[in-house]
Chains A and B, each alone.
Chain A
Amino acid sequence: TQLLEQSPQFLSIQEGENLTVYCNSSSVFSSLQWYRQEPGEGPVLLVTVVTGGEVKKLKRLTFQFGDARKDSSLHITAAQPGDTGLYLCAFRTGANNLFFGTGTRLTVIP
């Protein structure tokens, strides 16, 4: 069974602070995705990273794929209350399905 560990499990910070959340595995991935899920809704795709060492930016969010393609991080600069949600990473399996991590639940306090 492939494992995808996300840390921290919970994170509560003040508005304006920076944060980083992590997604780690012992397996090598062809690609990795990050989703955000707000309460009562389904996950929404934020980004897909494919190349080892790749860095992608989405406004205040910076996504990095590890050089060995086994891990990824999401950094948020100057967090806003609208960033509150569950952040999930996922990789595509050999059967072309998605396997999700357990998520990091972020709360940004105004």
Chain B
Amino acid sequence: DAGITQSPRHKVTETGTPVTLRCHQTENHRYMYWYRQDPGHGLRLIHYSYGVKDTDKGEVSDGYSVSRSKTEDFLLTLESATSSQTSVYFCATRETEETQYFGPGTRLLVL
């Protein structure tokens, strides 16, 4: 357990609206990640951060942006939500090269 919380845990929104998901960690881990999980696709990396203000794209970054202004917080923003972004979003932190911890997830429904 790496003290990861995600908010909100559930959200319903409409197509075209902006949405921001928050990930908060208490372990001071340098690396943080955002994944989405969809049936038949497993977990796919959206964006990751390797330090404050240092971020990079993952496998499925289109339509998403991230920000990290503090070590403990990593925000994921959907600028204009689409139905294809309906998913379960997981935040993770990395303690060592071989150890990642995941948050409880945010279930997002875009109508």
Residue of B43, B101, B104, B105 ringed by the most chain A CB atoms within 10 A: B43
Report chain A residues within 8 Å CB of B101: 42, 45
When the two chains form the complex, which single residue of A31, A43, A97 contacts B102, counting CB atoms closer than 8 Å? A43
Give the Cβ gap from B94 to chain A, nearest Cβ, in Å.
9
Report chain B residues within 8 Å CB of A79: none
| Contact string against B for A residues 86-103, beta-carbon threshold 8 Å, 1 for contact and 0 otherwise | 001010100111111111
Report chain B residues within 8 Å CB of A102: 40-42
Q: How large is the interface on A (under 10, 10 to 19, 20 to 34, 35 or more residues)?
A: 20 to 34
Give the Cβ gap from A103 to chain B, nearest Cβ, in Å.
6
CA distance A43 to B100 in the complex (A): 9
| Contact string against A for B residues 98-111, beta-carbon threshold 8 Å, 1 for contact and 0 otherwise | 11111111000000
Report chain B residues within 8 Å CB of A103: 42
When the two chains form the complex, which single residue of A40, A45, A97 contacts B33, counting CB atoms closer than 8 Å? A97
Q: B44: nearest residue on chain A (CB-CB)? A: A100
When the two chains form the complex, which single residue of A42, A48, A88, A99 contacts B92, counting CB atoms closer than 8 Å? A42
CA distance A21 to B21 in the complex (A): 34
Determine whether A78 belongs to the interface, using a CB cutoff of 8 Å to chain B. no
Give the Cβ gap from B66 to chain A, nearest Cβ, in Å.
14
Residues of B whose CB lies within 8 Å of any CB of A are: 4, 33, 40-45, 48, 56, 58-59, 90, 92, 97-105
Beyond A40-B105, A101-B42, list 5 extra A-B contacts (CB 8 Å): A31-B98, A42-B105, A88-B42, A97-B48, A98-B45
What 10 A-B pairs are tightest by C-beta distance, nearest first?
Answer: A42-B102, A100-B43, A102-B42, A100-B42, A48-B98, A43-B102, A42-B90, A42-B103, A103-B42, A101-B42
